[in-house]
Structure 1
Amino acid sequence: MEEVAAFRSEHDLLGDRDVPMEAYYGVHTLRAVENFQISGQRLCDAPDLIIALAAIKEAAAQANMDLGLLGPTQGNAIIAACREIRDGALHDQFVVDLIQGGAGTSTNMNANEVIANRALEILGHRRGEYTHLHPNEHVNLSQSTNDVYPTALKLAAWAGIHRLLRSMGDLRLAFAEKAGEFSEILKMGRTQLQDAVPMTLGQEFGTYALMLAEDEARLSEAAQLIREINLGATAIGTGITAHPDYAARVRDRLSEVVGFDLLTSPDLVEATQDCGAFVQLSGVLKRVAVKLSKTCNDLRLLSSGPRAGFNEINLPARQAGSSIMPGKVNPVIPEVVNQVAFEVIGNDVTITMAAEAGQLQLNAFEPIIFYSLSRSIAHLTAACGTLEKNCVRGITANKERLRDMVEHSIGIVTALNPYIGYRNATEIALEAHRSGRGVYELVLEKGLMSKDRLDAVLRPETLTKPQPLILAETA
């Protein structure tokens, strides 16, 4: 019985190396694994990126066959291998750390080698027999890392953005449903944490829904920017080694593969060095994070107590809150969302600095851009989902507490300014504050308004939206 070798020998610029026979990756990947042990997160932990790389290699093979640059035997084997990878096969063979030097070359070569070795098997050859089908000469034909890698990042981001948009949409609907449920519940609004004027709890929750809707629109706009790709640029944007028709052909083929229209940048030299679309997208993610965190700050404050805080709403109890204080329940879901927001804001700084650090015709720091961007997208997606399912849908209102605060707040005196004048309103507010008596009681006592007129002015529907002045006494 013939003994199967445990290793195969492969050669690169630096010499020969033994690669495990069972591996689909090759010598370039092997060296990258040894060089980059940074994050503990490998390409296989970013399936969107692997699928994007396989889509690009499939489209490139199709375009090269269309142009007569690649034979059908090799081209079809490459396409078959790419389709298997897009369906989830061999992802465990993408083993390079996501944070890497070389502007993504190790990622591109990991893809080239895995695809080449699987294509060789399809053709009936053994892995590593590159004379029949080569990672660089065939899988990477008409390409460079410098156009493949940024295009793959954009395709992966596109997939992640649309998952995030769905998660944000679900959260928005949850807030909107609560706004409807709370639409008739009057409460005190606050500015600078001081009593302001009345509003409804529904208006408060409707604001959270609207803020998400605005950010969904901004995120959709930012996503459109990453439809512009630089495939065909090759090394620096001049298209060296590529056919004159390749850029247009590969764009059309890739659009077919991924199912949405892509655009070729009008200036490939500019596109190859510019990371502006990633900066823009990260900025929008930061906007989402900031507003989501502000919302969670509100939820924590409104639910504070239960005896010594606002205690206006109840968040669902998710776990015991203390190892020492019995009965304590903490707002753990808003807290975890706050922390995701802090991370996204920090990632935006990283992406900003990485984009700024590019030099001349290439930005070498796109790996950290992708690493940071993909985590912002993934963690925001999860945060929106957990906030919706584990918090917002279970929120209840403490109606009696809300009504009591409105009745005893001096804030309602603002609604009386047009009727009793600012000076009288100020005196009423000061006396109410000193005595602890209600505004309603003091206005009647001083004869500043009749009971019927005062009741009409202080109706919830009058207090919470613009209304014409009630100039005449009600009958």
Structure 2
Amino acid sequence: MRQDSDLIGSMEIPDDLYYGIHTMRALPVGDVSSVKLNHYPEIIKTMAKIKKACAKANEQIHALDAKAAAAIVQAAEEMEQGKFNDQIFVDMYNGGGAIAINMVVNEIIANRANEILTGHKGYDKVHPNTHVNMCQSTNDVVPSAMKIVSYEAAKGLISAVKELEKALEKKAAEFKGKIKLGRTCLNDALPMTFEQEFSGYQKGIERQRVRLEKALEDWLSLTLGGTAIGTGVGTMPGYTEKLYEILKQDVNPLIRQEANLFDGMQNADSYLYLSGIVKCLAVVLSKICYDLKLMGSGPFAGFGELILPTVQAGSSIMPGKVNPAVPELMVQIAQQICGNDTTITMAVEKGELELNIADQILLKTLLDSINLLRRGIPILIHHCINGLKVNEEKTKHDAERSTALVTSYSMLHGYKQALKLALESIEKNQTVKETAIKSGRLTEEEAEKLFDPLLLTDVNLLHDLIQKFKSQRDI
């Protein structure tokens, strides 16, 4: 056991633990969930990178002893590699403005640095606050780590979205010329092709990806150097400039300091903005997956237009039943992300004066949303999109029987005459083409051209045909 002390008093710490008294006190008053900091190793890794950069900066401005700095750097590098993750289990739900997150990192690095220098844990040579946290505050370190972590997570999501775009584009090309009946309000509408349907899906996803990319353009503006409330009190001369040089070199060249540190600390609206885009992506994806469910419903009493890949049995009691498991997965992901966005909205709105005290919830919730999509999108691609097939016999039959085909007839003879044709075909249980021929309205050759479902998927072809029928137009 070793002794550690703070403003409250002293405590014995087991020798096998690298964290200290602050973390010991934080653990029981924040143990409310199964979601701990080590559930997000990317946060720990980024915190370690920041501590390493700060130690280097402080050593280079001669504020920190070279040996202590080297030990801190080594300990931070070990933390980056995940060596201490099993001891970093403070709850992601904790009060105090994320101080538990900063201090567990400070204490572990300090104890390990002392171990490197002296052979034992303790703070003889390196103290968690005096040395590891030199020129820093929880209030500028944790928000800066949040920016870096969320940036990398969003970049990963963008990569996944690009793959989805490619899959949808490939599927659209595969479905070129394959006819289907369009639907509005779930009822029969004009014909279209599956290529057109999927091109719309691809464009909708592409738009969300572009929005994500634009949101990240100025994302890496950090509050490091602002310390507690943005004034920078507690930093040593030359520290901030040197720190950003190191961060640009070691972490990301796009990193820069916030133009207004007070704004950077008071306001967390950037996370609400990014969460909104992530929610847009999730909702657009959910709409697509609802469509896939509808078009794949059946196989005997549903739309039956698409054949979705079979990935698992659909019932424990009905043999042979198959469910659209993957599209339903994406719908559930979207529902969770909408809830997460509400949490982020509330956390941003409840910022108080000089600090938003909900940093850890903002980051946890945003990462959860991004990670759900990052993991869900590849499943959607490989276990659904890539294997989609068209039930061509069914879709061709439906398109040819649609009374919406009278739209081209309406362009020649007006709405009332087209309606009469449509109602007559329904009454006689015929296609509009059959009724038009049998009633003498059109010759068989004219009807074949005018009621070709593919004609109504291409407005230019339709215009050319209407020109040929111009002499018959009596509107």
Please list the CA deviations of residues 328-350 of structure 1 after superposition, one character each: whole Å capped at 9, or x if unmatched. 11111111111111000000000
- Would the alpha carbon gap of residues 239 and 431 (structure 1) be closer, same or farther in structure 2, given more than 3 Å must change? same
C-alpha distance in 2 between matches for 1:225 and 1:426: 57
Partner residue in 1 for 2:215:
222
Q: Secondary structure at 1:35's aligned position in 2?
A: coil
Please list the CA deviations of residues 257-311 of structure 1 after superposition, one character each: whole Å capped at 9, or x if unmatched. 2233112111101111110111111111110111111011101111111111001
Structure 1 residue corresponding to 2:133, chosen from 127, 140, 162: 140
Structure 2 residue corresponding to 1:33, chosen from 21, 27, 35: 27
Structure 2 residue corresponding to 1:156, chosen from 149, 157, 165: 149
CA drift of 1:225 comes to 4.0
> Is 1:231–1:264's contact at 8 Å kept on the other side of the alignment?
yes
CA drift of 1:251 comes to 2.1
CA drift of 1:151 comes to 0.7
Partner residue in 1 for 2:13:
19
Aligned ranges 1:237-248 → 2 under 5 Å: 237-248=230-241
**What one-letter code is carried by the residue in structure 1 that aligns with 2:90?**
V
CA drift of 1:359 comes to 1.0
Partner residue in 2 for 1:372:
365
Partner residue in 2 for 1:305:
298
RMSD across aligned positions (CA) = 1.6
CA drift of 1:102 comes to 0.9
Q: Which runs of 5+ in 2 are unaligned?
A: 471-475
Partner residue in 2 for 1:472:
468
C-alpha distance in 1 between matches for 2:453 and 2:171: 18
Q: Secondary structure at 2:176's aligned position in 1?
A: coil
> Is 2:167–2:385's contact at 8 Å kept on the other side of the alignment?
yes
Partner residue in 2 for 1:4:
none
C-alpha distance in 2 between matches for 1:108 and 1:275: 19
Structure 1 residue corresponding to 2:76, chosen from 59, 77, 82: 82
C-alpha distance in 2 between matches for 1:325 and 1:402: 27
Asked if 1:91 corresponds to 2:89, the answer is no
Q: Which runs of 5+ in 1 are unaligned?
A: 1-6
Q: Secondary structure at 2:468's aligned position in 1?
A: coil
Asked if 1:286 corresponds to 2:282, the answer is no
> Is 2:405–2:453's contact at 8 Å kept on the other side of the alignment?
no
Structure 2 residue corresponding to 1:10, chosen from 1, 4, 8: 4
C-alpha distance in 1 between matches for 2:162 and 2:175: 20
Please list the CA deviations of residues 109-161 of structure 1 after superposition, one character each: whole Å capped at 9, or x if unmatched. 01111111222222233111x13111111110010000000111111111211
CA drift of 1:421 comes to 2.0
Partner residue in 1 for 2:448:
455
C-alpha distance in 2 between matches for 1:244 and 1:277: 30
C-alpha distance in 2 between matches for 1:279 and 1:328: 42
Q: How many equivalent residue pairs? A: 467
CA drift of 1:314 comes to 1.0
Asked if 1:421 corresponds to 2:428, the answer is no
Structure 1 residue corresponding to 2:48, chosen from 54, 59, 63: 54
Partner residue in 1 for 2:395:
402
**What one-letter code is carried by the residue in structure 2 that aligns with 1:240?**
V
Partner residue in 1 for 2:382:
389
| Aligned-pair identity (%) | 39
Partner residue in 1 for 2:473:
none
CA drift of 1:458 comes to 4.2
CA drift of 1:226 comes to 2.6
Structure 2 residue corresponding to 1:333, chosen from 326, 346, 368: 326
Which stretch of structure 1 is more off in the superposition, 465-474 or 406-415? 465-474
> Is 1:236–1:362's contact at 8 Å kept on the other side of the alignment?
yes
C-alpha distance in 2 between matches for 1:259 and 1:417: 62
Structure 1 residue corresponding to 2:116, chosen from 122, 129, 134: 122
Asked if 1:360 corresponds to 2:356, the answer is no
Which stretch of structure 1 is more off in the superposition, 460-469 or 105-114? 460-469
> Is 1:248–1:264's contact at 8 Å kept on the other side of the alignment?
no
> Is 2:406–2:451's contact at 8 Å kept on the other side of the alignment?
no
> Is 1:420–1:449's contact at 8 Å kept on the other side of the alignment?
no
> Is 2:400–2:453's contact at 8 Å kept on the other side of the alignment?
no
CA drift of 1:454 comes to 3.8
Aligned ranges 1:166-185 → 2 under 5 Å: 166-185=159-178
Asked if 1:269 corresponds to 2:249, the answer is no
Could you tell me the TM-score, scaled by structure 1's length? 0.95
C-alpha distance in 1 between matches for 2:331 and 2:238: 49
> Is 2:179–2:454's contact at 8 Å kept on the other side of the alignment?
no
C-alpha distance in 1 between matches for 2:229 and 2:216: 24
Asked if 1:208 corresponds to 2:208, the answer is no
CA drift of 1:450 comes to 4.1
CA drift of 1:409 comes to 0.9
